[in-house]
Amino acid sequence: MSVEKIDTLVVGGGQAGVAMSEHLSKCAVPHLVLERGRIAERWRSQRWDSLVANGPAWHDRFPGMEFPVTGPDGFPSKEEVADYFAAYARQINAPIRCGVEVKLVQRNVGRPGFRVETSDGVIEANSIVAATGPFQIPVIPALVPGDAGIPQIHSSAYRNPGQLPKGAVLVVGAGSSGVQIADELQRSGRRVYLSVGPHDRPPRAYRGRDFCWWLGVLGKWDLETPGPGTEHVTIAVSGARGGETIDFRRLAAQGLTLVGMTKTYQDGVLTFAPDLAKNIARGDANLMSLLDEADAYVARNGLDLAEEPTARRIDPDPDCLTNPIGELDLAGAGIAAIIWATGFAVDYSWLKVDAFDEKGRPRHQRGVSIEPGIYFLGLPWQSRRGSSFIWGVWHDAKHVADRISTQRKYLAYHAAAQRETVDA
């Protein structure tokens, strides 16, 4: 069987893989991108039907193309986002091969490079870029047994309210996905319980500017390290219905029931931590802090941006906040389904190299692994806070491509020097 050879192999054809291909091409690095599904597959098949991007179109895009349908201040649908990356790949003539799964990567013995086993044969590459991103394996806590008699799905498997059996729904996790799904279910007429943990709650917009703009001018996107205990903090923000600030009190006023973090399950009863008020207060404090910084920036720079005092309004606490539910009998409450909006884990089981710590996390500096020839792209906080966002991954890809190009030049010098020695 013939073995295909390529200088650099990029694994994953989502936003990270497309960005990587563009910068490798600019550096004249021969490469191939393998995608087991379609380009940006997760946007198409692992998101709910009504999802839109959480950032406005002017911000969450690559520099080389605007969204063709949604205006700059709008929020593109999930299908438009996927189509955008497919169109971008065509624009840059990215060598992406779809429908090919990478099964195993191992370092060659006694010679440079890596052997890659795929569903379409064997490839040898000098460098490997893992561009599979952080959202690989849906995480469902081992809390409610599978035989408990209640359907359970991860948020990545949720599509629309009609998919679920009739009855109330418990949504566990109050980040962007959990809040938007819970809101959609409640608007469809469902009784909904939302389990709320610690979170940040930025304004969707303030004084006429989207929060993405505020995080930019305040330097928050470029923070290189998270604050203590904030690396995995949930952010509640939404682009739904033209974009709106997440307000848990408003959701409760609409009929949604808030509960604390989900803790234990026994004999059909779930218990919740007594932390709901603390978690809501933390979100409020995060909101007010950002508004304070924005006001200070406006004053310092003399910007003509109208004041917005209503942004600081805090409505009265709903009953579910002042008298929180400590436990919930699922059958008694009519809970017909549980949706776990509890995030994802990474899966690098296919990458058999010494590039990970004891918890399986990549060891790297700005995407450059401690294992020579191995690179990562699309990781949270890869170089800064914005790394896992669309625009952030594009800039990280440039750095990784530059490093790959530099290594190729050193190796080219070595090869040329060897040839001169032999010729002499």
- pLDDT one-digit tens code per residue, 149-176: 999 999 999 999 999 999 999 999 999 9
Tokens of 172: 């566990």
- The whole-number pLDDT of residue 248 equals 97
317: helix, strand or coil: coil
User: 347 near 137, Cβ under 8 Å?
Assistant: yes
- The whole-number pLDDT of residue 412 equals 86
394 contacts: CB under 8 Å, gap ≥ 6: 15, 19, 22, 62, 63
Residue whose tokens read 């086993």: 117
Phi/psi of residue 390, nearest 5 degrees: -55, -50
- The whole-number pLDDT of residue 32 equals 98
Here the CATH number for the domain that contains residue 358 is 3.50.50.60
- The whole-number pLDDT of residue 420 equals 76
Same domain, 326 and 416: no
Q: Among 294, 325, 340, where does a domain finish?
A: 340
Same domain, 219 and 128: no
Same domain, 195 and 318: yes
**Per-residue burial over 239-251, b = 16 or more CB atoms within 10 Å of its CB, e = otherwise:** bbeebebbbbbeb
Same domain, 374 and 326: no
User: 151 near 133, Cβ under 8 Å?
Assistant: no
- The whole-number pLDDT of residue 359 equals 87
- The whole-number pLDDT of residue 135 equals 84
| Nearest Cα to Cα of residue 364 among 400, 388, 392 | 400
Q: Among 313, 340, 367, where does a domain finish?
A: 340
Same domain, 331 and 200: yes
Same domain, 300 and 165: yes
- The whole-number pLDDT of residue 424 equals 63
Tokens of 150: 């209640």
Pairing of strands 351-352, 344-345: unpaired
| Nearest Cα to Cα of residue 33 among 12, 7, 62 | 12
Same domain, 335 and 385: no
Pairing of strands 269-272, 327-329: antiparallel
pLDDT digits (tens), the chain, 424 positions: 689 999 999 999 999 999 999 999 999 999 999 999 999 999 999 999 999 999 999 999 999 999 999 999 999 999 999 999 999 999 999 999 999 999 999 999 999 999 999 999 999 999 999 999 888 899 999 999 999 999 999 999 999 999 999 999 999 999 999 999 999 999 999 999 999 999 999 999 999 999 999 999 999 999 988 766 555 578 999 999 999 999 999 999 999 999 999 999 999 999 999 999 999 999 999 999 999 999 999 999 999 999 999 999 999 999 999 999 999 999 999 999 999 999 999 899 999 999 999 988 999 999 999 999 999 999 999 999 999 899 999 999 999 999 999 999 998 888 888 777 777 6
- The whole-number pLDDT of residue 416 equals 84
Residue whose tokens read 């497919």: 86
Q: How far apart are CA 162 and CA 30, in angstroms?
A: 47
- The whole-number pLDDT of residue 64 equals 94
**Number of independent structural domains in the chain:** 2
Tokens of 152: 């359970």
Same domain, 178 and 231: yes
- The whole-number pLDDT of residue 134 equals 83
Structure pTM? Answer: 0.93
Same domain, 205 and 158: yes
Same domain, 204 and 78: no
Whole-Å CA distances, 229 to 118, 173, 180, 221:
39, 18, 25, 17
Which amino acid, 287? L
Q: Find the length of the chain.
A: 424
Same domain, 155 and 225: yes
Query: Which helix (H) or strand (E) element contains residue 69?
Result: none
- The whole-number pLDDT of residue 231 equals 57
Q: Which domain holds residue 184?
A: 138-340
Torsional class of 292: left (φ above 0), alpha (ψ -120 to 50), beta (otherwise): alpha
Same domain, 128 and 171: no
Q: Among 340, 370, 405, where does a domain finish?
A: 340
